[in-house]
Amino acid sequence: MKRAELFAGILLLAGALAAIFWVVPAHTEFVEDTSIQPATYPSIALWAVALLSALLVAVSAVGLARSGDGEAAIGLGNLGTLLLIGAIVAAAFVAMDYLGYLIGGIGLVAALMFYMGVRNPISLALVPVGSAGVIWLFFEILLERPLP
């Protein structure tokens, strides 16, 4: 497992650094009439991913050197769970593309909550609507950035 964590950390670190230095600059532009540049928040998030990935690499490398790779990797039994969650996320992205952020985001959170065992109808209604609403208000009102 430590070997898998090491490789995952290396891949995440490489991807985050590539995104910081090539992807974000290539897909954002400088805007003069705003206090927050479009590249600011993606860069902050990617630096956090890069830092945590480097930490994962360091911890995995030390653990691998100390104990070897005796732990079992994730089994194939979890493949169904991975595919189901991937399908839920893909369906939510399609819904966001056709119906907008609010409908797709609410559906995504509600579907994942239901999959994780939440059956309280009040929770299934309030948490997705509240979380999508808070994110929408943050971007629309505070940042003045429209969501699709």
Are 117 and 141 in a shared domain?
Answer: yes
Tokens standing for residue 148: 């699709």
- Are both 65 and 119 inside the same structural domain? no
Return the residue matching tokens 């985001």.
105
Q: Give the pLDDT score at 46.
A: 95
Last residue of a domain, one of 51, 73, 95: 73
Confidence grade of residue 6 (pLDDT, cut at 50, 70, 90): confident
Predicted confidence (pLDDT) per residue in 83-120, tens digit: 899 999 999 999 988 998 889 999 999 999 999 999 99
The residue with tokens 């056709």 is 98
- What's the mean pLDDT when you consider all of the chain? 88
Residues 24, 55 within the same domain: yes
Whether residue 86 sits in one domain with residue 38: no
The better pLDDT of the pair 112, 145 is held by: 112
Judge whether residue 128 has pLDDT over 70: yes
Determine the Cα–Cα distance for residues 80 and 86; give it in Å rounded to an integer: 10
Domain that includes residue 142, residue range: 74-148
Give kind and range of the element (H or E) at residue 110: helix 101-115
Given this model, what pLDDT does residue 146 score?
84
Structure tokens at 25: 């600059």
Mean pLDDT of 14-19: 95
Are 3 and 68 contained in the same domain? Answer: yes
Burial of 54 (0-12, 13-18, 19+ CB in 10 A): middle
Q: Over the stretch 24-79, which tens digit does the pLDDT of each residue have? A: 999 999 888 888 899 999 999 999 999 999 999 998 888 766 665 555 556 666 77
Q: In degrees, to the nearest 5, what angle opens at C-alpha 57 toward C-alphas 45 and 55?
A: 50
Same-domain pairing of 40 and 59: yes
Same domain, 124 and 58: no
Q: What is the pTM of this model?
A: 0.58
Regarding whether 104 and 138 lie in a shared domain, the answer is: yes
Quick one: pLDDT at residue 64?
67
Locate 133 and state its tokens. Answer: 């609403």
The torsion angles phi and psi of 39, rounded to 5 degrees, stand at -85, -5
Do 29 and 17 lie in a common domain?
A: yes
Write down which residue in 47, 73, 99 finishes a domain. 73
Residues 38 and 106 in one domain: no
Domain count for the chain, please give it: 2
* Whether residue 1 sits in one domain with residue 65: yes
End-to-end Cα separation, the chain, in angstroms = 40
**Whether residue 66 is found in the same domain as residue 90:** no
Chain segment 118-127, per-residue pLDDT in tens: 999 999 999 9
